Structure 1
Amino acid sequence: MTTRREFLKTGTLAATGIFFCGCGLLQGAHAQAPERRKLPVAVKGKRVKTIDVHAHCHFHEAGALLGEEGHRRQAGPINGAEETFIELKQRLAAMDAQAVDMEVLSINPFWYDKERDLAAQIVKIQNEKLAEFCASHSDRFAAFASLTLQAPDLAVQELQTAIKRQGLKGAAIGGSVNEVDFSDPKFHPVWAKAEELGVPLFIHPRGIPELRANRLAGNGWLDNTIGNPLDTTIALSHLIFEGTLDRFPGLKIIAAHGGGYLGSYADRSDHACMVGPKGCNPDIKLKKKPSEYLKQIYFDSLVFTPEAIRHLATQVGASQIVLGSDYPYPWQLSPVDHIFACTSLTDDEKAGVLGRTAAKLLNLEV
């Protein structure tokens, strides 16, 4: 299998109809990245605006409302955490080196366990800062709003304001709220508002608190390595099995990290109620097989390898995959490489993953 870098070295990109232009894409470009690539990324000779839907940021002003606790929650001992407080020149250089034209910024919820008014202040600051920053750099950045999701009535108002007045493109949410899953009817007004506005909700997991101190302790950072994908898997499964996606068929969901484990083992969900009917509610009659709901959910491409992309596309459809890096956390510093190296995708499908699907989903000009 030929990688993008091998294509660059051998000059065979033109023969395949795929072009990667600009020195900002070379390995080591982080050290000498240009402020902007001289030539754009293109597929089959056509310009593709690459859109990374999974990129993070923080604002000191929001964390300051929690004092020292706020800084710990925003910038814990994780590589790249300090870069979430965006220094524009540094961030643009990194994006250029990654061949990312636009980042859709989001803030992982750290306020769900705070009382309503304090959480609302944090969210207000963040959404105002996100709107201001993106308006000033609209060619390179868009953003998902934060929501005070522990107070659904307030979250509905925040989402309305974020979309209608602040120009944000949807909302970022966790995997649950204080261990209450999203299928709980208390959240229905929020999903109804997102469906009405036609904007996506980006599910980014926060781990499994009840497992964190015991089974996920030890070597390997299992709280994140296993816990985060599991959190997303549980969140999506509840939305499917409890009938939430039937209730809100127009709800647009983007699941981080390739949607966790569901995309790798979705067919097991189709057999669960047949094998163990006592574990299923006979009053909930789904309109489709559980695995079929994956074809209406979007998944980011942060699954690392061409084979993983191939498998995810086979399960959910290439049209449901969008580019994601998790920047500035260094999970995938070359987020486009495994898309171009995935020989099972057509040129049109690669263009979709790289940016065209996200542009349509988020109503972004390209």
Structure 2
Amino acid sequence: MSYLRIATEEAYGPAELFDLYRELLPDTDDIGFRSLMGHYLTSDADRPRFVRSRLQDLGETRLSEMDATGIHHAVLALTSPGTQVLEDKHAREMATLANERIAEAVRKYPSRFSGLAAVGFEDIPSAVDELERAVTKLGLKGLICNSHIKGHYLDEPRFRPLLEAAEALDVPVYLHPNTPPNDMIRPMYEAGIDGAIFGFGVETATHLLRIITSGVFDRFPRLKLVVGHLGEALPYWFYRLDYMHAGQVASKRYEAIKPLELKVSEYFRRNIWLTTSGMPWAPTIMYAREVVGPDRVMYAMDYPYEYVPEEVRMQDELPLNPEELKEFFQDNAIRVFGLDEAVLKGQESGR
């Protein structure tokens, strides 16, 4: 191909993290965590067994399956729910462990892997220190946030130092889905639609919209945020979001809704990038490119939760010219994550 396929939402989970999750499962009152990890860590069905084994691999198995689908490079990040269901001490320890493991894989296979940093979100000074260490010392390329932190969201003032650090380091925050918190999940859980089929998107779209409407991007205008699944359906709502937000500002109905410097939709063209993880369908990709701009949409597979080789071919066959395909698969990711093109194209084979 005339371009490298860079997959930008690829999950990793150390065995030690899964051991902690198993300890939590019997006593947790978190419906979403019990639904998600109770399935993936205890079911003997083919899919959860595949996901369990692949999440823990940072070597030959992952690389061989990347090769089989033509994926040249993967941006690795700690799987959902990450550190965000753990107590503070364990959250900090697991973030450090995951960052070290990912950095080790990057050093071993520099043309094949890069990675995002995890942090423990409840201790913000420690989280800032770990993000700075992971970026400046370990060479990681951003921050993974597996959406809500025990029902709390990044628009809350206590998280501002972490967002300020990401902006100062010029690295993106990747807002990855999580199951909804208990206040949101019950109707979806009762219907069996709380996970990837629907609940993930509802929860993460809510988080992203809170970030926008609270003025986070006015406070941090150079902050970069990446979100998967083509923006969790929010691009389809642009007209309504802009119209209704303006009406709410004028009516002063909600204390939380204040005037913004831009329209809601315009932040997607300044601060937000979308990936195609789990959304390989050409009509939705082309629509997203039209409304947010082709420089804002990039490829992702969502391995190992989504490992469908056919989906790569589907995106190779998008109605785009070679230069547009190169931008979609390669160039946008290089720009957003600050990847080194010379390293990506180096002689090191990663095997």
Q: TM-score range by the shorter chain?
A: 0.7 to 0.9
Task: Identify, as 1 or 2, the structure richer in helix.
Answer: 2
Aligned partners of 1:279 and 1:271: how far apart in 2? 15
In structure 2, what is the Cα distance between the partners aligned to 1:176 and 1:340? 34
- What is the TM-score with the length of structure 2 in the denominator? 0.84
- Identify the residue that residue 62 of structure 1 maps to in structure 2: 17
Find the aligned partners of 1:292 and 1:136 in 2 and give their Cα distance.
40
The question of whether the paired residues in 1 share the 8 Å contact of 2:73 and 2:112 is answered with yes
| Of 115-124 and 67-76, the range deviating more from structure 2 | 67-76
The equivalent of 2:259 in structure 1 is 285
In the alignment, structure 1 segments of 5+ residues that lack a partner are 1-40, 43-47
Residue type of the partner of 1:81?
Answer: V
CA distance in 1, matches of 2:256, 2:191: 42
Counterpart for residue 266 of structure 1: 238
Per-residue Cα deviation, 1:201-258 (whole angstroms, up to 9, x for no partner): 1110102123676311356544321111112211111111110011111111110111
1:323-364: CA deviation from partner (whole Å, max 9, x where unpaired): 111111136434433333222x44322211101111122221
Distance (Å, rounded) in 1 between the aligned partners of 2:131 and 2:196:
28
> 2:83–2:119: 8 Å Cα contact kept in structure 1?
no
Unaligned residue ranges in structure 2 (runs of 5+): 26-36, 342-351
Match status 1:365 vs 2:309: no
Residue equivalent to 2:69: 98
Count of aligned residue pairs for this structure pair: 320
Larger of the two Rg values belongs to structure: 1
Residue equivalent to 2:292: 316
Give the conservation status (yes or no) of the 8 Å contact 2:117–2:131: yes
Contact 1:109 1:146 in 2 (8 A): no
Deviation at 1:267, TM superposition (A): 1.6
Task: Name 2:189's counterpart in structure 1.
Answer: 217
Q: Out of 304, 309, 320, which is 1:333 matched to?
A: 309
* SS of structure 1 residue aligned to 2:179: coil
**1:290 is matched by which residue type in structure 2?**
V
Q: CA RMSD in A?
A: 2.3
Higher-RCO chain (CA-CA 8 Å, sequence separation at least 6): 2
Partners of 2:332 and 2:258 in 1: CA distance: 32
Q: What is the alpha-carbon distance in structure 1 between the residues aligned to residue 57 and residue 193 of structure 2?
A: 25
Q: Which amino acid aligns with 1:289?
A: K
Q: Which of 325, 330, 342 matches 2:318?
A: 342
Please say if residues 299 and 321 of structure 1, whose CA atoms lie closer than 8 Å, have aligned partners that are also in contact: yes
Deviation at 1:193, TM superposition (A): 0.3
SS in 1 for 2:7: strand
Give the % identical residues. 24
Q: Per-residue deviation at 1:287? A: 0.8
Please point out which of 65, 76, 81 is paired with 2:51.
Answer: 81
Quick one: distance in 2 between partners of 1:73 and 1:291? Answer: 36
Contact 2:22 2:41 in 1 (8 A): no
2:51 aligned partner, one-letter code: A
Q: Residue in 2 aligned with 1:22?
A: none
Q: In structure 1, what is the Cα distance between the partners aligned to 2:95 and 2:58? A: 21
SS at match of 1:357: helix
- The match for 1:356 is 331
Per-residue deviation, residues 263-308 of structure 1 (Å, max 9, x unmatched): 1212211011344434444882211111111112011013221101
| Shift, 1:119, TM fit | 1.3
Once the two structures are superposed, what CA deviation does each residue of 1:73-118 show, in whole Å capped at 9, x if it has no partner? 9745454322111162221121112211001111123332332212
Residue number in structure 2 paired with 1:199: 171
Taking the aligned partners of 1:267 and 1:150, their CA distance within structure 2 comes to 36
Correspondences of 1:177-196 after superposition (within 5 Å):
177-196=149-168
